[in-house]
Every structure is written in C-alpha cells, then in structure tokens.
Amino acid sequence: MLTELNIAVIGGDARQLEVIRKLTELDAKLFLVGFDQLDHGFAGANKVKLDEISLEQLDAIILPVPGTDLNGNVETVFSNETVLLTDEVLLKTPEHCVIYSGITNDYLSKIVDKANRKLVQLFERDDVAIYNSIPTVEGTIMMVIQHTDITIHGSTIAVLGLGRVGMSVARTFSALGAKVKVGARKTADLARITEMGLKPFLLKDIEEEVTDLHVCINTIPHMILTAKVISRMPANTLIVDLASKPGGTDFRYAEKRGVKALLAPGLPGIVAPRTAGQIIANVLSQILVEVLDKRKESSS
C-alpha cells in the first residue's frame, strides 16, 4: 500500500488514467493537475491547479510519457489549461521527491539537474520496453495492412535494429509468414538473428539489402534510412519508422520520391492505451512500493 505517499500526477492522456486508478487502489494521496475536464471521479484524488499544491509535501511527481516539450509545457489531454513545469517548481519539493516520466529531453533533464532531483525514465527500463513491444507490434501490423495492397504472408520485410522492439517485430512478422531480414551492427545480434531463423545483414550493407523490400520497419533512433538508401528501394516500399521523434528516416526525400514513409512512435498509447497505461501503472506502483519500504527500513 502507498498510504503515506503524496503524489502529483501532472497531465497525460488515457494511459495516465490507468496510473491514477492503480495508485488510488493502493491508497496514495493524489493531486491531479490537468484533469479538470475528466468526468471520471477517483476516490482520494483531488483535481487541482499546479499552484494549489503544497509542493513541499510531495514524494513524487508523475509526468506523461513524453515528460515535457522543449519549452517545459506538459501535455494535458483532459484540460485546456497550460501547465508549465520549471526548476522553480521542482525546487519547492522535498529533496527526496522523485520525478517519473516515460522519456526525457534536454529541457526536462536540465531543470531536474538544476533542482538536484532524481528523474526516473520508465521507458528506459527493460520490463516496460518489453511489455510495450506487444502493443507496438500489433500497431505495426495494423499499419502495414492498412498501407499496403499485399498480404504480409510472403512479403519481404526488413527490420532495422534488434533491440527489445526490433526483436518482437521481427519474430511476429516471421510468424505471419513474411520473409524477414534483420539489420544490426553487433556480431552477437547477427548470431541471434540467425538463431531465430531469420536472415541477418550488417547495417553497413543496407543499400544492397533494401532493393527487394515490400516493407521496411526501422527501430533505430538515428538517421539510418538516408536519401541514398531510400533511392535503392522499390517505389512501392512502405517505411514504418518506430523510432522516437524525429525517427531515423529522411522523410523529405521519401516524399519527393513517392515512397510512403510513416513515423509511428508511441504506438502503444494509440492502439491500446488501456493496456499501455496498465503496463506503466504496474511498474510504477512496484517502484513506489519499494521506495516506501526502503524509507520505512531506514527510519526504523
């Protein structure tokens, strides 16, 4: 139980509702900022504005998956209110207050460092990333079906990167009958790709490997699908870029050449927000329970 914790949940989309629901069940005292248009009432949770919170009492601040934008604004789907998170706000919290978000950016990292607070990026955790790969794969399948005129079965698909998402994507499309090849840099990854029964190739050879593709799925958050690479693809190739913004694709050149290229980060929150929210809520509640247990141990 989280009875002793005071937590501010600031902004977010439908995924955040699952977090609020879970923390309410665990009896945490919640302050909801950016939820004034939400009809659903959560027992023990108070809808407030940021300046109405006694910040010095907070044990944690939970931000949406993106954290903030580069100007410090927090996304508020359930409110027209503009919520700005600054280092001045964080400095008013206790030193033990922890900020949780899915990912970070230069602005968020800077104000957290300036306030000397701890930032936990949930999407950096293996468990969250692996759980999230499930709705990501389902969303990718949906996009491929919607934007091609062929079956996945028998198609030639390249997956770029064998990280937590790339592995799940490659395995699933292979199971659907696609001819899957996977590009990676590390020799250990090439060995794993071979063990999975898929065709491995080195990313340095990507220009030769894209000439016969129906679909190219990128998971690498760096420019990998350059104009030179895209120029070697068939014109009817579909690119689905799952990497975080701005992706790893030259979208300008793809459009110029007539290659359909879709940037699709955050698919879990789009195709399965309830499941995606439950993933975040379960992991976050585990972390908070551990934090509370450690605090009790140190005080006893």
Q: What is the pTM of this model?
A: 0.86
Residue 223, domain member (yes or no) = yes
For residue 293, the model assigns a pLDDT of: 84
Are 109 and 201 in the same domain? Answer: no
In the predicted model, is pLDDT for residue 299 greater than 80? no
Which structural domain range is residue 232 located in?
Answer: 129-265
Residue 200, domain member (yes or no) = yes
Mean pLDDT value of segment 255-266:
95
For residue 291, the model assigns a pLDDT of: 87
Residue 230, domain member (yes or no) = yes
Are 153 and 230 in the same domain? Answer: yes
Question: In 104-245, where do the E strands start and end?
Answer: 118-121, 156-160, 179-184, 199-202, 215-218, 238-241
Are 16 and 119 in the same domain? Answer: yes
Residue 222, domain member (yes or no) = yes
Are 164 and 261 in the same domain? Answer: yes
Q: How far is CA 179 from the centre of its chain?
A: 27
Are 203 and 155 in the same domain? Answer: yes
In the predicted model, is pLDDT for residue 101 greater than 90? yes
Are 98 and 60 in the same domain? Answer: yes
Residue 75, domain member (yes or no) = yes
For residue 144, the model assigns a pLDDT of: 98
Nearest Cα to 100, choosing from 209, 25, 14, 16?
A: 16
Are 133 and 196 in the same domain? Answer: yes
**How large a percentage of the chain has pLDDT more than 70?**
100
Sign of CA dihedral 273, 274, 278, 281: positive
Mean pLDDT value of segment 245-261:
96
Model confidence band, residue 98 (pLDDT cutoffs 50, 70, 90): very high
In the predicted model, is pLDDT for residue 296 greater than 90? no
Are 96 and 148 in the same domain? Answer: no
- Identify any residues that bridge with 181 across adjacent strands, giving them in sequence order: 158, 199
For residue 300, the model assigns a pLDDT of: 64
Residue 1, domain member (yes or no) = no
- Identify any residues that bridge with 217 across adjacent strands, giving them in sequence order: 159, 240
Are 70 and 136 in the same domain? Answer: no
Q: Bigger pLDDT: 123 or 43?
A: 123
Residue 35, domain member (yes or no) = yes
CA distance 79 to 64: 14
In the predicted model, is pLDDT for residue 43 greater than 80? no
Nearest Cα to 85, choosing from 120, 34, 16, 37?
A: 34
Please state the domain count of the chain.
2
Are 241 and 136 in the same domain? Answer: yes
For residue 244, the model assigns a pLDDT of: 85
Consecutive H or E run containing 289: helix 273-299
Q: 3-state class of 181 per DSSP?
A: strand
CA distance 92 to 56: 6
The CATH code of the domain that includes 240 is: 3.40.50.720
What 8-state DSSP symbol labels residue 249?
B
How far the first Cα of the chain sits from its last, in Å, is 18
In the predicted model, is pLDDT for residue 41 greater than 90? no
CA distance 85 to 184: 38
Average pLDDT, the chain: 95
The bridge status of strand 73-74 relative to strand 83-84 is antiparallel
Nearest Cα to 265, choosing from 124, 139, 115, 76?
A: 139
**pLDDT, tens digit (0-9, with 9 covering 90-100), for 11-30:** 999 999 999 999 999 999 99
Are 144 and 222 in the same domain? Answer: yes
Are 229 and 277 in the same domain? Answer: no
